[in-house]
Amino acid sequence: MSEIPFKNPGWAGNVGEYDLTEEQVRGIDFVGVRPLEGGHAAGSATYPYMLEDKHPEAPLFEGPYEVRFQKILTRYPTKRAALLPALNLAQEIRGHISPQTMDRVGELLELSPAYVRGVATFYTMYNKRPVGRHLVQVCTNISCNLCGGQEVLDAFLEHTNTEVGETSADGTFTVIEAECLAGCGFPTCVQINSRYFENVTLEEVPKIVAHLRESGPATESLEGEE
């Protein structure tokens, strides 16, 4: 393979000044060995999505999480400004943000339940109900759909034996449809927990599902990382 003059100029086909093959632009030279590892440097999110032993009634912000919660508070001028990262931390511990969790976070940040609910329900990245150990979000927006996003979604549903939004009987998977994940240059883009799997094809779906079934915890805890 010829030397790449610069990184990731975007797919221009075999015409134009770049004269790059699709493999050079979209292949492993740029996006790493994925999707099975899923950990390419371009992956989104840096915090663990949720703990393996998440429990909807787990104590909030105790032990190392209390330390992280206090660190979060030091980064913001007011308690109210710390609401989003506090909810992130709560979701990491409990797996989803229930109304009770919203109320507890509100108490800790001295915010009204209505205010916390207004914020938490605005953002789709906060799960408002329990999800499986692996939350699979398949983008079916324009770029991804032109490249088979709908078929990829259908394949994930088939191989996890679920309907959209349903959690598999063993609690391993919840598959949902996502709006644009901002990985439009690498369709179909799939976010699984906090990691991006890019250029996912129909053929790769069974391998990804099998890998996730065997892979144990959805993420490791980054205890004390905050």
Chain contacts with ligand FES (rule: CB under 6 A): 139, 141-144, 180-184, 187, 189
Closest distance between ligand FES and the C-beta of residue 25, in Å? 16
Residue 226 one-letter amino acid:
E
* Strand-pair partners of 174: 135, 167
The answer to whether 204 touches 155, Cβ cutoff 8 Å, is no
Residue placing its CB nearer to ligand FES in the complex, 109 or 155:
155
> Which residue, among 140, 141, 138, 91, has the nearest Cα to 116 in the 3D structure?
91
Residue placing its CB nearer to ligand FES in the complex, 142 or 210:
142
Closest distance between ligand FES and the C-beta of residue 176, in Å? 14
Closest distance between ligand FES and the C-beta of residue 143, in Å? 4
Residue placing its CB nearer to ligand FES in the complex, 32 or 185:
185
Closest distance between ligand FES and the C-beta of residue 50, in Å? 22
Residue placing its CB nearer to ligand FES in the complex, 49 or 197:
197
C-alpha of 76 from chain center: 25
Closest distance between ligand FES and the C-beta of residue 209, in Å? 20
Terminal Cα-to-Cα distance of the chain (whole angstroms): 41
Residue placing its CB nearer to ligand FES in the complex, 95 or 149:
149
195-197 and 173-178: which strand pairing?
Answer: unpaired
Residue 110 one-letter amino acid:
E
Sheet strands side by side (includes 190-192) = 173-178, 134-139, 190-192, 195-197
